[in-house]
């Protein structure tokens, strides 16, 4: 177990750099301050012959920064060793205030305000960052101004550290700091993109949109020209017996989140959902692609309440429309592997609750058909092939419960009577009784204690969780608000611990020579040569299982998909859209 006294040096460091827009950082300068000796350093990097760090990165020193992945990105760009021990004050501030409303914001100045540390100038910060991002040449006076500005950030970070130090759980903080280095590695590596295909998309996009409507709408018949008609969409839903929710004005709901959610339950809707997203929100120029053809953007670690990454949905290839992922393509001689945990949240729920029936369902390899078997609805030995309809029903039930879906909503989604939906939910409660007792106790304790934690210390404040911070006019609004907050708390142990597991897995993979290039919810994307990809994928898969055993003492299994050049990444949910676009482009060439 570590304490602050274990470190002979505590270095507070800040870098300035330019680059971005999909390209790796180019460090301009850095400043540093050592807490015990009070030694300070200002060092210009661009035209300096001394490119070695003048602060310690050894085992007896700890590196302090605010959003340390930026500093670690500069270390990687300079080919410097990364510090063995890192504490990121952003991650610790985010952890200490997770679930709370922070009016000052969660950037460095906001954190300082929250802890009563003054001295920051937001206007100066914006103007100096703008100048640095313009890049060289820098005249001598600008160099001095930039160094002074960088040193002011170090002073702010130092004062923030002194204010926060007593509240930092250093053992867990070092794990989170370790992950910030891993984030920098993934951001630096980037995802290979088929830039020729992307250029064609940009070139023909306006025509593609018109032709896409014609092609995709042939299935649905809900457009008139380029206008989406609600009455025709309602007719389509009725004809295909797809249950739906309506607005207060009696129109079918068509907001992006609802459409996306429904398309998971009814795959027939996926092309239409992708089309509407692509027509209304997709901005191809927002994708951040570097000069080397790689997608690089901020992964925003710890951005979500669960501790997961929260990269920009428009800048990150995996945050965008599903069909756009077909742009991911390994470069010549290389290959990719997409490795994701099998039913991670079910496995975590089984481990945390110690529910033997849920553990059996997970370990069977098909928790959905196993749930049906344990419920006595299908015979022992039933499979996905022999009882596909029943498996799909129990899958919808199990996933719906995982996401906090109520029985009435489940009945609509599964096109069942409310009585039948409640019967299935009752089966889940009966078969997995230990889980339900545990999750209810977890939620009750969390509300009483005012806080819940993951195994590795990611915190979520629940004080005032069920007291709306805005006026809710109707009983329906109050119920929806309360349900959403209840779902957040119910899902937190699975998603929060899942985030812990993935962070450990990524760190271990990178530290063992696996080139991880992206985190994707409960999966990773790795890159290797064609000759080594099977070996590296097998190694990464094993590490991911080991990571789950570290965190929850339960082995989670993984699924591996390998993509070798000249093949591209594919996702069946977006294949129809991608193929349709390809046909349109080929006609134009």
556 falls within a domain? no
pLDDT at position 244: 86
Question: Of 151, 172, 189, which closes a domain?
Answer: 189
CB atoms within 10 A of CB 353: 21
* Reported confidence tier of residue 341, pLDDT bands at 50, 70, 90: very high
Task: Look up the CATH number of the domain holding residue 443.
Answer: 1.10.150.20
Q: Answer yes or no: is 394 within a domain.
A: yes
Please work out, in degrees rounded to the nearest 5, the angle formed at the alpha carbon of residue 32 by the alpha carbons of 29 and 37.
155
Asked which of 169, 189, 209 is the last residue of a domain, the reply is 189
Nearest partner of 190 among 291, 113, 98, judged by Cα = 291
Using N-to-C axis directions, what is the helix angle for 433-449 and 356-363, rounded to 10°? 110
Q: Using the 3D structure, point to which of 495, 526, 552 is the last residue of a domain.
A: 495
Task: Indicate whether 485 pLDDT > 80.
Answer: no
For residue 294, is it within any domain? no
Instruction: Report pLDDT digits (tens) over 289-312.
Output: 999 999 999 999 999 999 999 999
**Is 284 part of a structural domain of the chain?**
no
- How many structural domains compose the chain? 2
Rounded Cα gap, residues 144 and 139, in angstroms: 9
Determine, yes or no, domain membership for 298. Answer: no
Q: What is the pLDDT of residue 408?
A: 78
The answer to whether residue 47 is domain-embedded is yes
pLDDT tens readout for residues 60-101: 999 999 999 999 999 999 999 999 999 999 999 999 999 998
Confidence class of residue 475 from pLDDT cuts 50, 70 and 90? low
Domain residues for the domain of 446 are 345-495
Task: Please give the pLDDT value at position 523.
Answer: 98
Q: What is the pTM of this model?
A: 0.92
Residue 136 has pLDDT above 90, yes or no: yes
Residue 220 clears pLDDT 90, i.e. is over it = yes
**Strand positions, DSSP E, 404-456:** 451-453
Asked which of 111-115, 423-427, 465-469 is least confident by mean pLDDT, the reply is 465-469
What share of the chain has pLDDT > 90, as a percent? 75
Q: Encode pLDDT of 365-409 as tens digits.
A: 999 999 999 999 999 999 999 999 999 889 988 887 876 777 777
pLDDT band at 213 (very low <50, low <70, confident <90, very high): very high
Match 């953007």 to its residue by tokens: 297
DSSP code per residue over 112-177 = HHHTT-----HHHHHHHHHHHHH-S---HHHHHHHHHHHHHHHHHHHHHHHHHGGG--HHHHHHHH
Q: Is the pLDDT of residue 589 over 70?
A: no
Neighbour count for residue 363 (Cβ, 10 Å): 14
Among 565, 529, 518, 487, CA closest to 182: 518
Rounded average pLDDT over 213-228: 92
CB 201 within 8 A of CB 208: yes
Task: Look at residue 481 in the predicted model and tell me its pLDDT.
Answer: 63
Task: Tell me the C-alpha distance between 452 and 14, whole Å.
Answer: 32
Within-domain flag for 378 = yes
Q: For 298, phi and psi rounded to 5 degrees? A: -60, 130
What are the tens digits of pLDDT across the range 524-582?
Answer: 999 999 999 999 999 999 999 999 999 999 999 999 999 999 999 999 988 988 999 99
- Is there a domain that residue 301 lies in? no
Q: Is the pLDDT of residue 425 over 70?
A: yes
User: Which CATH number belongs to the domain containing residue 136 in this structure?
Assistant: 3.30.420.10
Q: Is the pLDDT of residue 479 over 90?
A: no
pLDDT score for 406: 75
Residue 469: pLDDT over 60: no
- In sequence order, the 6+-apart residues with CB closer than 8 A to the CB of 475 are none
Summarize the confidence of residues 334-363 as an average pLDDT.
97
Confidence bin at 50 (pLDDT 50/70/90): low
């Amino acid at each position: 177990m570590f304490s602050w006294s274990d470190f002979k040096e505590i270095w507070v460091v800040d870098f300035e750099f330019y680059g971005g827009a999909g390209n790796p950082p180019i460090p301009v300068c850095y400043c540093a301050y050592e807490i015990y000796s009070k030694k300070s350093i200002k060092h210009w990097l661009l035209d300096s012959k001394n490119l070695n760090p003048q602060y310690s990165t050894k085992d007896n020193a700890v590196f302090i920064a605010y959003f340390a992945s930026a500093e670690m990105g500069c270390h990687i760009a300079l080919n410097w060793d990364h510090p063995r021990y890192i504490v990121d004050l952003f991650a610790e501030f985010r952890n200490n205030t997770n679930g709370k409303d922070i009016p000052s914001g969660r950037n460095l100045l906001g954190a300082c305000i929250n802890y009563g540390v003054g001295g920051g100038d937001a206007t100066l910060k914006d103007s100096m960052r703008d100048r640095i991002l313009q890049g060289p040449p820098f005249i001598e006076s600008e160099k001095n101004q930039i160094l002074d500005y960088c040193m002011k950030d170090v002073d702010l970070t130092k004062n923030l550290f002194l204010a926060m130090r007593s509240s930092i759980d250093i053992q867990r903080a070092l794990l989170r700091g370790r992950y910030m280095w891993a984030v920098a590695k993934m951001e630096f590596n980037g995802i290979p993109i088929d830039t020729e295909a992307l250029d064609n998309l940009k070139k023909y996009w306006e025509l593609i949109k018109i032709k896409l409507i014609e092609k995709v709408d042939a299935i649905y018949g809900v457009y008139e020209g380029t206008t989406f008609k609600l009455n025709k969409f309602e007719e389509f839903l009725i004809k295909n017996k797809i249950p739906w929710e309506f607005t207060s004005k009696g129109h079918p709901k068509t907001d992006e989140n609802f459409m996306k959610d429904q398309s998971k339950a009814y795959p027939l809707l996926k092309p239409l959902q992708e089309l509407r997203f692509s027509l209304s929100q997709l901005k191809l120029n927002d994708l951040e692609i570097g000069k080397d053809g790689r997608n690089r953007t901020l992964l925003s670690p710890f951005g979500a309440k669960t501790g997961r990454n929260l990269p920009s949905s428009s800048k990150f290839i995996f945050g965008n429309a599903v069909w756009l992922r077909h742009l991911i393509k390994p470069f010549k001689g290389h290959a990719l592997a997409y490795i994701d945990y099998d039913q991670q949240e079910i496995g975590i729920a089984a481990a945390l609750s110690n529910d033997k029936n849920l553990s059996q369902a997970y370990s069977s390899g098909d928790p959905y058909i196993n749930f049906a078997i344990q419920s006595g609805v299908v015979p022992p030995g039933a499979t996905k092939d022999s009882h596909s309809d029943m498996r799909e029903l129990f899958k919808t039930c199990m996933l719906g419960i995982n996401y906090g879906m109520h029985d009435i909503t489940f009945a609509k989604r599964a096109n069942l009577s409310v009585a039948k939906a409640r019967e299935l939910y009752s089966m889940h409660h009966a078969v997995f009784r230990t889980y339900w007792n545990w999750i209810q106790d977890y939620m009750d304790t969390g509300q009483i204690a005012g806080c819940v934690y993951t195994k590795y210390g990611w915190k979520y404040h629940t004080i005032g969780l069920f007291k709306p911070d805005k006026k809710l006019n109707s009983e329906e609004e109050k119920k929806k608000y309360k349900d959403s907050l209840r779902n957040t708390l119910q899902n937190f142990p699975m998603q929060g611990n899942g985030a812990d597991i993935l962070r450990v897995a990524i760190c271990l993979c990178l530290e063992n020579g696996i080139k991880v290039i992206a985190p994707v919810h409960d999966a990773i994307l790795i890159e290797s040569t064609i000759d080594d990809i099977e070996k590296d994928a097998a190694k990464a898969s094993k590490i991911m299982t080991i990571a789950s055993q570290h965190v929850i003492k339960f082995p989670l299994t993984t699924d591996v998909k390998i993509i070798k050049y000249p093949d591209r990444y594919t996702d069946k949910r977006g294949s129809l859209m991608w193929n349709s676009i390809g046909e349109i482009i080929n006609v134009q060439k």
